[in-house]
Structure 1
């Protein structure tokens, strides 16, 4: 623990020195980069909130006069036998598009920087794997405990599976899209927001990023929202130090899979023995 705290302190000192140097050299210049990161973040969160509900897109199509397309989309989302899957895939696709597209435009064509500078590189991705393993170990009993609560069972998984329904291929397709949106989420928060502001805020860019990350969990069970604060700080620190997002993606996907499987077991979709067969063959 002492060694870890010392490492955190060294990271703090290093990032603060870099941010102080950047501020000193550009004290009389307008920081357009931080401004654009903030504006893009606000725009991305707004778009995902509204477009994440397919009914908003339906209303826009109707306003634009695309009545036929709006009706087809609404029928697909509400009347099709796989409407539940389509709604879940639509939501995940909206998250992936906005979390990736707008930040990518800023990085590539406005900032003219490399995605590697925003945590997309793989170099050093496994350097701090022990901390991530400990995070998973801590999460296992917590997920098991909270999976018994009513709010958890109602929330997860986002794609609802009825008892007796086959998990293949629909649930597998959903999980793949679910994992992809975690890649987009980590890139947006622990990549774009964090590394896009560290030159100005230094170590405090972690907490700058953590606030909206916590807020996107509003509406979920309160313990999960509280956990998002802690996870946001830890994953932010690890991204700041390792300069990549990939172990954060791994933790997110692993915990999400545990949560979905736990919820399905609690809901009686399949027994624990069936889970082992499905996961491990």
Structure 2
């Protein structure tokens, strides 16, 4: 006989009170909080970053691209880490902030980077690519500006990896197992909707691949370094094209 469906006690004949009592007994506190908080953080970061009044309150010395990185770090890293540390009372290293066996299993990341580099170099000849990257306009103006932006961008990628391949992966994984990889890839794809369709579609497969590698290594650092390496290559290629174009 097949196992009963998990929601089989909920039927058109049961009362809403009975349904609620059943769900309350089935839903675990931590995965529930993680998904609710994640939805609030994603929504808050998106709308806060898009508010016009926020831009008017940022000092002129801080470009919008840098303030955007700051918001990402706040919403994707600091606030989830606060929840893990002070509400769940768990170690951050258990959510991917550990190197673990990355030195043994870092080669898939190197392969992915080596595949991306020639693609980026070819794309850098596209006028749209040159006008789009780097996000921080001063990065192409001086070495200091470039280094400042890449440092901020690197922190942004650590936050992104921690949120999608740490917070949304290792927390629910205790209940959902490897299905957490699939679930974490969904919002990761959705945050790319404002970008070209190819990049959004690619984010689906990137989310699955990076989720698997984070799961295998119990670490987000490989994905963060890969993201950062790709971003530096893109910004460097674009800046060189502008310099010699």
TM range (shorter): 0.7 to 0.9
Matching residue within 157, 172, 180 for 2:147: 172
Contact 1:161 1:269 in 2 (8 A): no
Runs of 4+ in structure 1 off by over 4 angstroms are none
Residues 114 and 162 of structure 1: CA distance in aligned 2, closer, same or farther (over 3 Å): closer
> How big is each residue's C-alpha offset from its partner over 1:118-164, in whole Å with a ceiling of 9 and x where there is no partner?
0101221222111111101111122123333344333211011497x
Contact 1:190 1:209 in 2 (8 A): yes
Contact 2:139 2:145 in 1 (8 A): no
The CA distance in 1 between the partners of 2:27 and 2:70, in whole Å, is 35
Secondary structure at the aligned position of 1:95 is classed as helix
Contact 1:53 1:91 in 2 (8 A): no
Matching residue within 266, 269, 272 for 2:243: 269
Matching residue within 200, 213, 230 for 1:238: 213
2:39 matched residue in structure 1: 42
2:222 matched residue in structure 1: 247
2:133 matched residue in structure 1: 156
Cα distance, 1:236 vs. partner? 0.4
Unaligned runs of 5+ in 1: 1-26, 59-69, 272-281
Cα distance, 1:56 vs. partner? 4.0
Contact 2:139 2:147 in 1 (8 A): no
Cα distance, 1:265 vs. partner? 2.6
1:119 matched residue in structure 2: 96
The farther-off stretch of 204-213 and 101-110 is 101-110
2:232 matched residue in structure 1: 257
Matches within 5 A, 1:85-100: 86-100=63-77
State the TM-score, normalized to the length of structure 2.
Answer: 0.83
> How big is each residue's C-alpha offset from its partner over 1:20-39, in whole Å with a ceiling of 9 and x where there is no partner?
xxxxxxx9543111111111
Secondary structure at the aligned position of 1:207 is classed as helix
Q: Please tell me whether residue 141 in structure 1 is matched to residue 141 in structure 2.
A: no
Alignment: residue pair count = 222
The CA distance in 1 between the partners of 2:78 and 2:139, in whole Å, is 34
Matching residue within 7, 18, 33 for 2:30: 33
Contact 2:138 2:145 in 1 (8 A): no
Cα distance, 1:99 vs. partner? 0.7
State the TM-score, normalized to the length of structure 1.
Answer: 0.73
Unaligned runs of 5+ in 2: 1-23
The CA distance in 1 between the partners of 2:40 and 2:205, in whole Å, is 25
Cα distance, 1:262 vs. partner? 1.6
